[in-house]
């Protein structure tokens, strides 16, 4: 198994030595083609993206190059190597007006990040390759040094420092444990499943509810959490209000069984 990223590996140990790391800038088409033809992977799992929503809105050229052009480079090389492609996408391809969403619902992104992920999805679908698309929502889990925080680790850090935090209660998500996302991808690989799959958590929660439950689980001061809404934040990009996913297809076709949110808290913090 080969893992790639731009620059040096930020993961201390990959697969107990069973995974080889190679540096790759996926926005460099020549480098992508060279590596793909050297490795000739059976399956290309494409997880790389520019995902900071406000940064994408402010740096649209970089966002498009990373999320769309790079995906097209990978598709072109996968055609040469006859590789299967599994592409990781997002709930932000939807406008959030009618969530939670099933796979057949019509995408309608409200920000530039979502529009680039939708464009990349279309490129995958139209590629002629053997493909699957995995959409997921608000991924949470443990982090190693140097990795970006998620809402659980952010709440823990802030409250342990005694800092007050404002968290929105007018957005709805189905938070996804990173291990469940990995399991969903593995099931798609094992079953050689094709098409779009929504891989997410069991429970529908607002970020404020997530923060409160995290504080209560860790026995931290939940009075430091202030309920807010999106209008109180100055952000470059709009956020879809109600996304989250219906995961009936994944349960039926993949036998996917995610953790409940309370189980996620136990897995992450215990």
Tens of pLDDT, residue by residue over 1-18, are: 999 999 887 665 565 668
Burial 127-161 (b: 16+ CB within 10 A, else e): bebebbbbbbbbbbbeeeeeeeebbbbbbbebbee
Q: Which residues are catalytic?
A: 113
pLDDT value of position 209? 98
Asked whether residue 80 is assigned to any structural domain, the reply reads yes
pLDDT at 144 over 90: no
Asked whether residue 93 is assigned to any structural domain, the reply reads yes
The model's pTM: 0.95
Mean pLDDT, all residues of the chain: 95
CA distance 210 to 151: 8
The string of pLDDT tens digits covering residues 94-107 is: 999 999 999 999 99
Asked whether residue 67 is assigned to any structural domain, the reply reads yes
Q: Which residues, at least 6 apart from 88, have a Cβ–Cβ distance to it below 8 Å?
A: 45, 46, 47, 49, 133, 134, 136, 185
How many domains does the structure of the chain reveal? 1
Q: pLDDT-derived band of residue 30, with 50, 70 and 90 as boundaries? A: very high
Residue ranges making up the domain that contains 129 = 2-141+175-204+246-256
Asked whether residue 214 is assigned to any structural domain, the reply reads no
pLDDT value of position 7? 84
Asked whether residue 124 is assigned to any structural domain, the reply reads yes
pLDDT at 269 over 90: yes
pLDDT value of position 53? 97
The string of pLDDT tens digits covering residues 203-253 is: 999 999 999 999 999 999 999 999 999 998 899 999 999 999 999 999 999
* Secondary structure in 3-state letters for the chain: CEEEECCCCCCCCCHHHCCEEEECCCCCHHHHHHHHHHHCCCEEEECCCCCCHHHHHHCHHHHHHHHHHHHHHHHHHHHHHCCEEEEEEEHHHCCCCCCCECCCCCCCCCCHHHHHHHHHHHHHHCCCCCEEEEEECCEECCCCCCCCCCHHHHHHHHHHCCCCEEEECCCEECCEEHHHHHHHHHHHHHHCCCEEEECCCCCCECHHHHHHHHHHHHCCCHHHEEEECHHHCCCCCCCCCECCECCHHHHHHHCCCCCCHHHHHHHHHC
CA distance 6 to 50: 12
Q: What percent of the chain has pLDDT over 90?
A: 89
Asked whether residue 94 is assigned to any structural domain, the reply reads yes
The string of pLDDT tens digits covering residues 149-203 is: 999 999 999 999 999 999 999 999 999 999 999 999 999 999 999 999 999 999 9
Asked whether residue 162 is assigned to any structural domain, the reply reads no
CA distance 202 to 236: 30
The string of pLDDT tens digits covering residues 77-92 is: 999 999 999 999 999 9
Asked whether residue 64 is assigned to any structural domain, the reply reads yes
pLDDT value of position 201? 98
Q: pLDDT-derived band of residue 36, with 50, 70 and 90 as boundaries? A: very high
Q: How many CB atoms lie within 10 A of CB 34?
A: 13
Query: Residue 53's domain is classified under what CATH number?
Result: 3.40.50.720
pLDDT at 147 over 90: no
């Amino acid at each position: 198994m080969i893992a790639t990223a731009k620059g040096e590996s930020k993961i201390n140990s990959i697969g107990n030595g069973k995974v080889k790391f190679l540096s790759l800038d996926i926005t460099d088409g020549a480098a992508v083609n060279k590596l793909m033809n050297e490795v000739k992977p059976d399956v290309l799992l494409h997880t790389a993206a520019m995902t900071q929503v406000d940064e994408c809105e402010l740096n649209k050229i970089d966002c498009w190059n990373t999320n769309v052009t790079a995906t097209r480079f990978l598709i072109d090389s996968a055609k040469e190597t006859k590789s299967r492609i599994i592409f990781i996408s997002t709930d932000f391809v939807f406008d959030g007006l009618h969530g939670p969403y099933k796979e057949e619902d019509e995408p309608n992104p409200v920000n530039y990040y979502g529009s680039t992920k939708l464009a990349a999805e279309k490129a995958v679908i139209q590629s002629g390759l053997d493909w699957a698309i995995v959409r997921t929502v608000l991924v949470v889990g443990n982090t190693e040094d140097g990795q970006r925080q998620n809402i659980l680790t952010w709440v823990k850090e802030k409250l342990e420092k005694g800092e007050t935090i404002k968290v929105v209660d007018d957005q709805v998500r189905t938070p996804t444990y990173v291990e469940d996302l990995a399991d969903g991808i593995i099931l798609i690989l094992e079953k050689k499943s094709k098409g779009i799959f929504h891989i997410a958590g069991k429970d529908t929660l607002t970020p404020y509810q997530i923060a409160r439950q995290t504080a209560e689980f860790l026995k931290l001061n939940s009075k430091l959490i202030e309920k807010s809404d999106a209008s109180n934040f100055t952000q470059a990009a709009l956020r879809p209000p109600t996304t989250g996913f219906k995961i009936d297809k994944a349960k039926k076709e993949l036998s996917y069984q995610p953790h409940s949110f309370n189980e996620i808290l136990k897995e992450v913090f215990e």
